[in-house]
Structure 1
Amino acid sequence: MYKNIIPDGTRDLTNEECMRKSKVINSINKVFDLWGYKEVMTPSIEFYESFRYEHSGIKEENVYKFFDSKGRILALRPDMTIPIVRLVSTRFKNMSSAIKLRYCANIYKVFEEFSGKRNEYTDCGIEFISKEKEFSDLEALIIAIDSLKSIGISNFKIEIGEINFLKSAIEDLCISEEEKTTLARLIEKKEIESLNKFLNTINIDESIKKFFLNLPLTFGSGLGVLSKYKAMSFNCKMLNSVRYLQKLAEDLRVIGYDKYLSFDLGLTPRLSFYTGIIFRGFIEGSGNIVLSGGRYDNLIGNVKKDFGAIGFSINVDELESILDNNLEKKLKYNIIFNKSNKIEAIKKGFELREKGFVVELIPSKDEENINIIEEEYYGY
């Protein structure tokens, strides 16, 4: 019954699709290499327990689970950050200097049928583990921008948030944890009408209520939006978050990267282990997130004391599907031959391949001599 179909959220790739995807991966990896990031690989299969970290935010129903021969629960990795942290805790546990790692790996998540999201996709990303915070944040943002530029696009934005801004605005409210979660969700989703109704059901000061109503409407490009956040802040933690972003933004402005930035301090992270800045990338004309990342000091601090970490991943399949990655036309040779002159055909093929040409050998009963035909093809 299932012989000729594949599971929901997966797909087969044919030659040109494979080449476009490889082109994206190679461009991104070149940027990572130039910044000194070393490649690592982790198993596709991990113990499910690894992803049950209390602050991971990974929902159980989104994880592919199965059992090994000993009855232990295994999982196809739904994220790369936690496997990288596990790797650092073992192979890099005695390293005292900064650790710069890169990866390109398939990720597996269970999404609802007809959601339009892929259950298997490829992420390319970096993780920067160090004792220093400010410069590593700056480096990660620069590399994120350079990675998207490397595949030939300029019409993109890196949207930056800082989770402590909203967290510190909410944490002192005399409301339940469930109500705090609802408030953060409505702000991020910018559901203004529902947010207004919800705020009318909880007992908070009118000025604070006005702040929460204005927050989803305050976002956008330009450093001026950070001044608005500064004016809106009503405690020291919020001010510190804004000032930190202003320093980062000014550094990016000086090197000419401010045109790629936008800010939204109403963001809440997809994964709840983030502790500082969070960011995501969008390409103009598409509402899909192609890049996401952030700082996760507590998670790495559990396995490497006094160290913090920041990282991001790029959804290669999302990029490949929305970019017009024109492949280069190249010249190839088809050598058509019969059984009696196959050795001569093979030798001729060697000669042409040594010159860098693609050569395809095609046996034919109808061909008396060796016939060499030039042909254009799409290649790397």
Structure 2
Amino acid sequence: MGDETVTEGLAEGAEDAGAPRHSSRDAARLDQLRQVTAAAGADAVVLTPGATLTWLLGHQFDGHERLFLLIVPTADAPVAIVPALEEANFRGVAPAVESVHLWDDADGPEAAAAAAFKGLGKATRVAVEPLSLRYMEAQHLSRELPKAKLESAESIVSELRLKKSDEEAKAIQQASKIAEAALEFTLRDVKPGRSEREIAAKLSSELLRRGGGGISFGPIVLSGPKSALPHGVPDERQMEEGEFLLIDFGTSFDGYHCDITRTFVVSGSPTDRMREVYEAVLQANIRGVAASRPGVTYDYVHKNCQANLRAARFKEFMTHRTGHGLGLEIHEPPSVMAGNTDVVEEGAVFTIEPGLYLEGWGGVRIEDNVRVTAEGCDLLTSSPRELRILGA
């Protein structure tokens, strides 16, 4: 398939995925949130702008420095505190939220917050998202709900968002297609003398040009000894013949992210040691994908993935878990790691990304995205995994 055909196909998919969300689905998700919150023993859950609010309403809001909260009691109607400048956007995507308390910059949010929380005066347990609630928002909750204990909503959010629908999985797969097409185009520019920063900039531009919803994170483009830094930062270092080039990158589609890593050799011929390390990581990736199925634990997936890397000659070069969840956030539950005895369920989406990092020499990581099915799992990524030599 030619470059133009790929771009056209992705554009057609973008048009379909951008269609308006159905209010019936949003209402169902609101009911789910209320039921799971009640089952957790909380009187209400409070959401700030972020992935869970996006999942619920189908629209991404940015709170910035302004107070913006959705309060969902288990036994009453939802209530919102919304900056006046966001009123039209909010009412357009949240028709089920009839009680909306607005505030503007001149007056401040205090009166709106007091009115919104008035119905929760007797609440004793309120769930909040631990990684997104800011000190400013916590102050308002403490002032308006002095008798309430703030608890983590992590288990609530995980239960709602961990299993991806077919529609969500298709969005992640579409993001992967965009990302992989962008990578292949960018790899044409890889050759000795190119800098890491040049390749990172080219890849970022291609992700956007081909319909990506943004850059999930600054592309990690690391060459030679720097490829041994799992989360290193690309700079002006120029690639040299016969060394590793590690590229970790992602984009989103309809709000859902992909996260892919591939490792290459820049021109020249890889040494026997390079082939040995690469093959070990490749086999770990294959084993991890094969182990991903419903009914086993994430600990089981991790240990099966890493089994051959735990050999004496590689053990000291392992530095991280096998993978993490993907969705509206680039990192979200589950954590595919040792000790996680949670059971893998059908619909879960996560990465399989084993790696070996030899300080001062180089590193290899191969990362794919999988969705668990009734029989095993589907790969949402399709970029070749065998060792490739670029710019020869």
- Shared fold per TM-score greater than 0.5: no
Say which structure, 1 or 2, has more relative contact order (CA 8 Å, 6+ apart): 1
TM-score, normalisation: structure 1: 0.31
More strand by share: 1
Structure whose CA Rg is larger: 1
